[in-house]
Amino acid sequence: MENESTLKHLIKAIQHGDLCTVRQQLSEHANKQSIIYTHFGKSGDTLLHYAARYGHMDILRYLVEELNMDIEVYNNDYKRALHEASSMSHYESVRYLIARGAKIDSLKKADWTPLMMACTRRNLDVISELLDHGADPSVQNKDGWNSFHIACREGDPVIIQHLLLGKPEVWKTKSKTGRTPLHTAALHGCENAVRILLERCSYEPDEKDSCGVTPFMDAIRNGHIAIAKLLLENHKASATAVDVLGAQPLHQASVTAQDDALSFLVHNLGIDVNTRATKLELTALHYAAKEGHTDTIKNLLGLGADLHARDTKGRSALHMACIGQHAETVRTLLQMGLPDTKDNTGNTARQYAKKPNII
């Protein structure tokens, strides 16, 4: 077989859409079939993959019609040409491959279909073409996501509406971790998507994933306050629901250092800043300290957090900062006057620190 390095000019010609050079390069090889089915690089792409990825129709036709290349040839990730064309929004290439009989719901690695790939690019023409030829938006990948999950992550309202129009029940899906498209849209800050889902779909308020997380929690812990308000007003979401660890949105916002969300919860919704998570009775201050969010600690104290609060094990925020090995946070808490006292087992915060001189 021809050494791969000697064929780099052929690959470059395909990438640049230079059909004349492609013809010339292939004419120099006695065994064209061997060359066109060579798998290049770690991904194992063939010439057909390159042509579809870059959307060069003349080269695509040449490979398929003149050289009789199999359009279902796959690379090391089981990607076909239709996956490539769909993921890169090459509408004409998608149309051509479908017309030549490409399998519409072929699965690449992790069980992604061409439609899923298209939904990552928000190209309505490509998505419509796939749907019109039988692509199933309810097919799930290895994580339990379908095309509707992906569309809700991207947040294009036109595409979301189009998928719902084509298959109204497509919203009735959960990932393998129990997450709905509403979770996905809230997590990624897709406000228009959330509006559509609340208007057109029948999600139960505060549906929880396998970790006990609700869409409202997803919105809050990622700082999407407008979506949090929308869920409160239009979906009767709970601002005090707890996850499997007993943490409320207040605690989750402390973990992710969403200071505006914390202010919203305390000032606008009246949440007690010293509310404790039910498992170990950790406060928001404990969570922020463990993650090393010094500015969030200051914000929480400004909101009325108790600097000296202890959990059920007798640990203060200083203990948690040492557990997280956050030297700056430790210094800040000491400067604020939090003493290095012992927990219920007699250990000081210093004894939790693994790094030298952290306290």
What's the CATH code of the domain at 159? 1.25.40.20
Q: 113, 138, 168 — which closes off a domain?
A: 168
Residue 201, domain member (yes or no) = no
Residue 192, domain member (yes or no) = no
Q: What is the pTM of this model?
A: 0.92
Which residue in 101, 125, 124, 127 sits closest to 114, CA to CA? 127
Instruction: Check: CB of residue 242 under 8 Å from CB of residue 281.
Output: no
Number of domains forming the structure of the chain: 2
Q: Coil, strand or helix: which one is 40?
A: strand
Same-domain check for residues 2 and 135: yes
Same-domain check for residues 13 and 114: yes
Residue 83, domain member (yes or no) = yes
Same-domain check for residues 151 and 268: no
User: What pLDDT is recorded for position 31?
Assistant: 80
Same-domain check for residues 120 and 16: yes
Same-domain check for residues 260 and 356: yes
User: What pLDDT is recorded for position 279?
Assistant: 86
Q: Coil, strand or helix: which one is 228?
A: helix
User: What pLDDT is recorded for position 223?
Assistant: 98
User: What pLDDT is recorded for position 5?
Assistant: 56
Q: 110, 133, 168 — which closes off a domain?
A: 168
Q: 121, 143, 168 — which closes off a domain?
A: 168
Residues spanned by the domain of 10: 1-168
Residue 204, domain member (yes or no) = no
Tokens found for residue 224: 């999407």
Residue 312, domain member (yes or no) = yes
User: What is the C-alpha to C-alpha distance for residues 82 and 104, in angstroms, rounded to an integer?
Assistant: 8
User: What pLDDT is recorded for position 346?
Assistant: 96
User: What pLDDT is recorded for position 6?
Assistant: 58
Residue 95, domain member (yes or no) = yes
> How much is the CA Rg of the chain, to the nearest whole Å?
27
Same-domain check for residues 261 and 164: no
Which positions of the chain have pLDDT values less than 50? 1
Burial 13-31 (b: 16+ CB within 10 A, else e): bbeeebbeebeebbeeeee
User: What pLDDT is recorded for position 1?
Assistant: 45
Instruction: Check: CB of residue 349 under 8 Å from CB of residue 321.
Output: yes
- Helix crossing, 147-154 with 157-166: angle to 10°? 160
User: What pLDDT is recorded for position 4?
Assistant: 57
Same-domain check for residues 17 and 120: yes
Residue 211, domain member (yes or no) = no
Q: Which amino acid is at 31?
A: N
Residue 143, domain member (yes or no) = yes
